Amino acid sequence: MILNKENLKNINGEKVTKPTPEILALPERVIQFGTGVLLRGLPDYFIDKANQKGIFNGRVLVVKSTAKGGADAFSKQDNLYTLCVKGIEDGVNVEENSINASISRVLAASQDWTEILKAAHQPEMQVVISNTTEVGIVKSEDKITDYPPQSYPGKLLAFLHERYKAFNGSVESGMVIVPTELISDNADKLKEILLDLAIHNKLGWDFENWLKTANHFCKTLVDRIVPGKLPEAAQKAVENELGYEDELMIMAEPFRLWAIESSSKKVKEVLSFAKADKGIFIVPSIDKFKELKLRLLNGTHTISCGLAILAGFDTVKEAMANKDFSANVLKLMKDEIAPVVVNEDITYSEAIAFAESVIDRFSNPSLAHQWQAITLNFTSKMQMRNMPLIRRYYALKNEVPQLTALGVAAYILFMNVDKQGDTYTASVNGKTYPIQDEFAEILYEYWKNPETVIDNTLGDRRLWDKNLNNYPGFNAAVKSYVDLLQNKGAKETLSNLHSETEI
């Protein structure tokens, strides 16, 4: 039995949350550009949850760029799919399955452009969501008269121009546009591109003014790990338990965050699905969410990466299963990072709450996040995510952030690279790791003299944008940790540091 509308009545509602007939009849209120798993695992999750609570009462028209195939899974399954949430939340194992009915139709831009433009005439259509990856929000010289325009901005501008004409440029017909692409200031960049494209297409001042004043472009930050398709054995197990087959089944972690920047009352009214879940925030500024994510999630990943690999851990969950490593991560966040991210917008309690959610995420047994993947552009990540925290820590306490120094020591040891041609590799515990780091050549040269490698590395402003030797005691701390890691090993070093620490 496959998942579709006809078979819903035969599915056991005690094992999986399933939609009511009323939900399946709700009008389209959102046009979404993209069918990717992040969209289905985050925005569409929130919309479906809101519909189940009778809050938003609207469904999603999805536009995909590729043509429909004869065996298109969305068509076969009436756009229904199962979302499996697996992981840890507030220290408790979570496993939930729900049939998501947020999507009403999936149309291919290359084949269904006329139908997509028709949707611009629907009065209930008020929201635009997109995730077209970082290359989607790019400058374009599309003609909006093409069928369809090639780029995402071209398609969106054509849709908005169609809506402008359909409603005679009324202010009420403007839309709330919430891009979820993982680029800074995503909405501002999209708006600028659309305005340039409107001028390029000679759409007139009246339309340009409507585009700027009647539509709300909201910057956003999204955060949820959505690996997508389950491993084959896991998928079979879930299908056997639920009693149906589902080609579109995806998995997501419990943590979810969608921060949307707006002070507009209308935006809050239109995006009423935000009331359905604690993971959505409509706030005047999303900066605090960006800072928490950058420092406590991304920064902790980065500064812990070299240490984890030296300790012989392949995945984040494997490392977090080690009590000494997990104690190190928690102490790092609570004692060295959280105190220095506090500002007029972020309280210490908020930083600690976010840190605790990071522990849950890192410990998720259903995710196999490879430390090797985190080593990509290792140096520049540390420069952006971790180095500003050293300056802040010294300004606050005027002492060495010991666990950060340990992370820097592990980085230096990991970056003792070999070179063949233009290719760099690192060898740790008998394993070879490919190194993709624009500063690998610098570390390669410094390691030719092990006696001076620490002094040279810490003092190189190209690496850190500052001379780390100028921070009192930091050089000595790093040298001490390098010595411990070389002579005792990472696991014993961690054990000695955290032998009395419990989490």
Mean pLDDT (the chain) is 95
Mean predicted confidence (pLDDT) in 161-183:
97
Has residue 212 got a pLDDT over 80?
Answer: yes
Has residue 226 got a pLDDT over 50?
Answer: yes
- Given this chain, do its domains 8-283 and 287-497 carry the same CATH topology? no
Six token digits for residue 290: 């960006």
| pLDDT in the model for residue 319 | 97
**pTM assigned to the model:** 0.93
Q: Is 226 helix (H, G, I), strand (E, B) or coil?
A: coil
- Read off the pLDDT of residues 309-354 as tens digits, 9 standing for 90 and up: 999 999 999 999 999 999 999 999 999 999 999 999 999 999 999 9
- Read off the pLDDT of residues 106-122 as tens digits, 9 standing for 90 and up: 999 999 999 999 999 99
Partners of residue 96 on adjacent β-strands: 85
CA distance 146 to 156: 12
| pLDDT in the model for residue 340 | 97
Contacts of 420 (CB under 8 A, 6+ apart): none
Confidence of residue 136 (pLDDT cuts 50, 70, 90): confident
Confidence of residue 502 (pLDDT cuts 50, 70, 90): very low
Closest CA to 50 of 276, 288, 351: 276
| pLDDT in the model for residue 133 | 74
Reported CATH class of domain 287-497 = mainly alpha
Has residue 238 got a pLDDT over 90?
Answer: yes
Mean predicted confidence (pLDDT) in 188-213:
97
Has residue 67 got a pLDDT over 70?
Answer: no
Has residue 71 got a pLDDT over 90?
Answer: no
Bridging pattern class, strands 59-64 and 220-223: unpaired
| pLDDT in the model for residue 69 | 53
CA angle 243, 246, 249 (to 5 degrees): 115
Confidence of residue 140 (pLDDT cuts 50, 70, 90): confident
Q: Can you point out the beta strands (E) in 410-500?
A: 417-420, 423-428, 431-435
* Domain ranges, ordered by start, for the chain: 8-283, 287-497
- Read off the pLDDT of residues 390-414 as tens digits, 9 standing for 90 and up: 999 999 999 999 999 999 999 999 9
CATH of the domain spanning 8-283 = 3.40.50.720
| pLDDT in the model for residue 70 | 42
Q: What is the percentage of the chain residues whose pLDDT exceeds 90? A: 94
Could you tell me if 273 and 46 are in contact, meaning their C-beta atoms sit under 8 angstroms apart?
yes
- Read off the pLDDT of residues 241-268 as tens digits, 9 standing for 90 and up: 999 999 999 999 999 999 999 999 999 9
Bridging pattern class, strands 250-252 and 81-89: parallel
| pLDDT in the model for residue 314 | 96
